[in-house]
Amino acid sequence: MNAHSSVANETFDCRVAFSEKLIALAEADPRIVAVCNDSVGSSNLNAFRDRFPDRLINVGIAEQNMVGVAAGLANGGFIPFVCAAGPFLSGRATEQVKADVAYSNYGIVLCAMSPGMAYGELGPTHHSIEDISWMRAIDNLDVLVPADPEQTKAAMDWAVASGRPIYMRVGRHKVPSVTPADRDVAFTFGKIDVTGDGNDVALVATGTLVSRALEAADILKAEGISARVLNVSTIKPLDAETILKAARETKGLVVAEEGVLEGGLGAAVATTLAENHPAKARFLGVTGFAPTGSNDFLLEHFGLTAKGIADAARKLVG
């Protein structure tokens, strides 16, 4: 795929790739275990449980306990993949993530299932839109947001190999593949993947917003505006070099994410720009507790669409 082709039609729930990959990793490495909170079904762990009944630790509805148990497992030589709905993993167990995982420097992969507003009409209690800000604030915790199934799997490979404390979103909202066919690996830790070399505007997006940014680039191209798309799948540490290159080579950046603006990707980009190369930028995100509605309805509601991104880009170059 290049910047000027339309985004593929087929879409995927990243949890499917996640669970297949987890089984493959566990086949190869007996240290890998899954820890969850009555979330076997919602984390797509049924097949894992059937294959490795002893290596699935379901603690029940108890997220603080769940993350603490994972730390104990890591202390005992295991590599826990903690699988729970994003809002409860990041919100309920924040202090365990800080003290027991990051501060203690354990190789634990915290897998935030169904992040963003994937739980649409279940409402703000079930939306995981603050997670990136909360997790970014914790030292020694890498924050990953793979944008498609290929990236999800490649990020899991990296997670196991690195032995790092990691928070990773695993998307439920169906997304097309956004990984260009010519890439050797779908995910490189700490590197932004750039599609296109447009120098009017840079569209910086993460997760569900990446395919929408690619569509926005198509819309803009038809109007004679050239865009490049930056897929940020490592939110922390941020690839400042690629951000600054885009800032130098374009008239401005649009940053789009399925999360709050305070402390999210946009805030990370803004800090990098302000300190090194002040540039014009626009920030799109979730601006307030959502009203009732499906994930798609809410993305539309908050302007997190190809059109919303293109509109913001036009204002920058116009």
Partner 1 sequence: MTISVWPDNKPLDVAAIRDLPEGERAEQLKLVAKQVRRLVVQMIDIARAGHIGGDLSVTDALVTAAFGVLNISPETADDPGRDRLILSKGHCAAALYSVLALRGFFPVDDLETFMKPLSKLNGHPNRLKVKGVEANTGPLGHGLPIGVGSAIASKLSGKNWQTFVFTGDGELQEGSNWEAAMTAAHRKLDNLVVIVDRNRLQQGARTEETASLDPLADKWASFGWEVAEIDGNDTAALLKAFTQNRNGKPLAVIANTLKGKGVSFIEDRVEWHHKVPSKEQVELALKELA
CA atoms of 178 and 181, how far apart (whole Å) = 9
Q: Which does 41 bind (CB under 5 to 8 A by kind): partner 1, ligand TPP, none?
A: partner 1
Find the binding residues for ligand TPP in span 90-109 (CB under 6 A).
Answer: 92
Distance CA 93, CA 96 (A): 5
Whose structure tokens read 């354990």? 106
Instruction: Enumerate residues 102-141 that contact partner 1 by CB under 8 A.
Output: 119, 121-123, 125-126
In this complex, which beta carbon is closest to partner 1, that of residue 85 or of residue 267?
85
Q: Is 10 exposed, middle or buried (0-12, 13-18, 19+ CB in 10 A)?
A: exposed
**Helix (H), strand (E) at residue 181:** none
Report the C-alpha dihedral over residues 48, 172, 115, 262, rounded to 10 degrees.
150
Angle of CA points 280, 211, 219, to nearest 5°: 65
Exactly one of 13, 38, 300, 311 binds ligand TPP (CB under 6 A); that residue is 38
Residues 50-79 that bind ligand TPP (CB under 6 A): 61, 63
Asked if 121 interacts with ligand TPP (CB under 6 A), we say no
* Shorter beta-carbon distance to ligand TPP: residue 38 or 218: 38
In this chain, which of 88, 119, 167, 302 binds ligand TPP, going by CB under 6 A? Answer: 88
- Assess 287 for contact with partner 1 (CB under 8 A): no
292 sits near partner 1 (criterion: CB under 8 A)? yes
What tokens does 313 get?
């880009």
Question: In the bound complex, what is the minimum distance in angstroms from residue 126's beta carbon to partner 1?
Answer: 6
264 close to 285: Cβ distance less than 8 angstroms: yes
How many Å apart are CA 145 and CA 133, to the nearest integer?
Answer: 13
User: Site for partner 1 (CB under 8 A): which residue of 293, 303, 307, 314?
Assistant: 293
In sequence order, the 6+-apart residues with CB closer than 8 A to the CB of 125 are: 87
- Smallest gap, in angstroms, from Cβ of residue 85 to partner 1? 10
Q: Under the rule (CB under 8 A), what is the footprint of partner 1? A: 38-42, 58-62, 64-65, 87-88, 91-92, 119, 121-123, 125-126, 291-294, 297
Q: Under the rule (CB under 6 A), what is the footprint of ligand TPP? A: 37-38, 61, 63, 88, 92
